[in-house]
A and B are shown apart, each in its own frame.
Chain A
Amino acid sequence: MTTVHLGMPLVRAPRGVGMLREQEPFPAAARRALADPQLRANIRRATGTIRDKRQRMVDEVPDWEQLRDAGSALKAATMARLPELLVQLEEQVTARGGTVHWARDAHEANRIVTSLVQATGADEVVKVKSMATVEIGLNQALEAAGIAAWETDLAELIVQLGRDRPSHILVPAIHRNRAEIREIFRREMPGLGTEVPADLSDVPAELAALSRRHLRAKFLSARVAVSGANFAVAETGTLAVVESEGNGRMCLTLPQTLITVMGIEKLVPTWRDLEVFLQLLPRSSTGERMNPYTSTWTGVTPGDGPQELHLVLLDNGRSATLADEVGRSALHCIRCSACLNVCPVYERTGGHAYGSVYPGPIGAVLSPQLTGVQDNASLPYASSLCGACFDACPVKIDIPRLLVELRAQHVEARAEEHPVPSAEAVAMAAAAWTMARSKRWVRAQRASRIGRLLARRSGRLPALPFPLARWTSSRELPVPPEETFRDWWARERG
Chain B
Amino acid sequence: MRIALLVTCLVDTLYPDVGRATVTLLERLGHEVVFPDRQTCCGQMHVNSGYQRDALPLVRHHVEVFEPYDVVVAPSGSCVGSVRHQHAMVARRAGDDRLAARAEAVAGRIYELSELLVDVLGVEDVGAAYPHRVTYHPTCHSLRLLRVGDKLLRLLRHVRGLDLVELPEADQCCGFGGTFALKNADTSTAMLADKMRHVLSTGAEACTAGDSSCLMHIGGGLARLRSGTRTVHLAEILAATEQPA
Interface segment among A86-94, A114-122, A246-254, A436-444: the answer is: A436-444
When the two chains form their complex, are residues B187 and A404 in contact, meaning their CB atoms are under 8 A apart? no
Q: Is B181 an interface residue (CB 8 A)?
A: yes
| Residue of A whose beta carbon sits closest to that of B191 | A344
| CB-CB contacts below 8 Å: B177-194 with A | 177-192
Q: Which of A1, A382, A387, A467 contacts B182 (CB 8 A)?
A: A467
| CB-CB contacts below 8 Å: B8-32 with A | 9, 11-17, 19-20, 23
A and B contact pairs by CB, cutoff 8 A, 27 listed: A34-B187, A348-B187, A381-B184, A384-B188, A385-B177, A385-B180, A386-B144, A408-B51, A408-B93, A409-B50, A411-B50, A412-B53, A432-B51, A436-B40, A436-B61, A438-B37, A438-B38, A441-B9, A474-B192, A474-B221, A476-B220, A476-B223, A480-B14, A481-B17, A483-B16, A485-B19, A489-B37
Q: Which of A384, A445, A488 contacts B176 (CB 8 A)?
A: A384
In order of increasing CB-CB distance, the 7 nearest A-B pairs are: A384-B177, A407-B50, A475-B220, A387-B144, A411-B50, A386-B173, A485-B19
With A485-B19, A488-B20 as known contacts, state yes or no: A428 contacts B220, CB within 8 Å. Answer: no
Q: Which of B17, B61, B186 contacts A31 (CB 8 A)?
A: B186
| CB-CB contacts below 8 Å: B186-221 with A | 186-192, 216-217, 219-221
When the two chains form their complex, are residues A484 and B13 in contact, meaning their CB atoms are under 8 A apart? yes
B interface, over-half SS? helix
When the two chains form their complex, are residues A387 and B141 in contact, meaning their CB atoms are under 8 A apart? yes
Bound CA span A475–B190, Å: 12
Interface string of A481-494 (1 = CB under 8 A from B): 10111111110011
When the two chains form their complex, are residues A485 and B16 in contact, meaning their CB atoms are under 8 A apart? yes
List residues of chain B with CB within 8 A of the CB of A474: 185, 189, 192, 221, 224
Q: Is A431 an interface residue (CB 8 A)?
A: yes
List residues of chain A with CB within 8 A of the CB of B221: 474-476
Interface size class of B (residues with CB under 8 A): 35 or more
Bound CA span A1–B47, Å: 16
Q: Which of A26, A432, A490 has the most CB of B within 10 A?
A: A432
Bound CA span A445–B40, Å: 10
Nearest-neighbour CB distance to chain B for A97, whole angstroms, equals: 48
Q: Is B230 an interface residue (CB 8 A)?
A: no
When the two chains form their complex, are residues B183 and A27 in contact, meaning their CB atoms are under 8 A apart? yes
When the two chains form their complex, are residues B144 and A390 in contact, meaning their CB atoms are under 8 A apart? yes
When the two chains form their complex, are residues A34 and B173 in contact, meaning their CB atoms are under 8 A apart? no
With A385-B177, A407-B49, A475-B221 as known contacts, state yes or no: A432 contacts B43, CB within 8 Å. Answer: yes
List residues of chain B with CB within 8 A of the CB of A380: 50
Nearest-neighbour CB distance to chain B for A71, whole angstroms, equals: 19
Bound CA span A30–B27, Å: 48
Bound CA span A291–B58, Å: 50
When the two chains form their complex, are residues A432 and B46 in contact, meaning their CB atoms are under 8 A apart? yes
List residues of chain A with CB within 8 A of the CB of B7: 485-486
When the two chains form their complex, are residues A481 and B51 in contact, meaning their CB atoms are under 8 A apart? no
With A349-B187, A408-B50, A438-B40 as known contacts, state yes or no: A493 contacts B35, CB within 8 Å. Answer: yes
Q: Is A473 an interface residue (CB 8 A)?
A: yes
Q: Is B145 an interface residue (CB 8 A)?
A: yes
List residues of chain B with CB within 8 A of the CB of A436: 40, 57-58, 61
Bound CA span A65–B69, Å: 36
Q: Is B135 an interface residue (CB 8 A)?
A: no
List residues of chain A with CB within 8 A of the CB of B179: 381
List residues of chain B with CB within 8 A of the CB of A475: 181, 189, 192, 217, 220-221, 223-224
When the two chains form their complex, are residues A470 and B40 in contact, meaning their CB atoms are under 8 A apart? no
Interface string of B168-180 (1 = CB under 8 A from A): 0001110111111
Q: Which of B40, B140, B180, B191 contacts A435 (CB 8 A)?
A: B40
List residues of chain B with CB within 8 A of the CB of A448: 13
Q: Is B166 an interface residue (CB 8 A)?
A: no
List residues of chain A with CB within 8 A of the CB of B13: 445, 448, 480, 484
Nearest-neighbour CB distance to chain A for B170, whole angstroms, equals: 13
With A383-B180, A470-B185 as known contacts, state yes or no: A431 contacts B37, CB within 8 Å. Answer: no
Q: Which of B49, B51, B185, B223 contacts A471 (CB 8 A)?
A: B185
List residues of chain A with CB within 8 A of the CB of B229: none
When the two chains form their complex, are residues B177 and A383 in contact, meaning their CB atoms are under 8 A apart? yes
Q: Is B128 an interface residue (CB 8 A)?
A: no
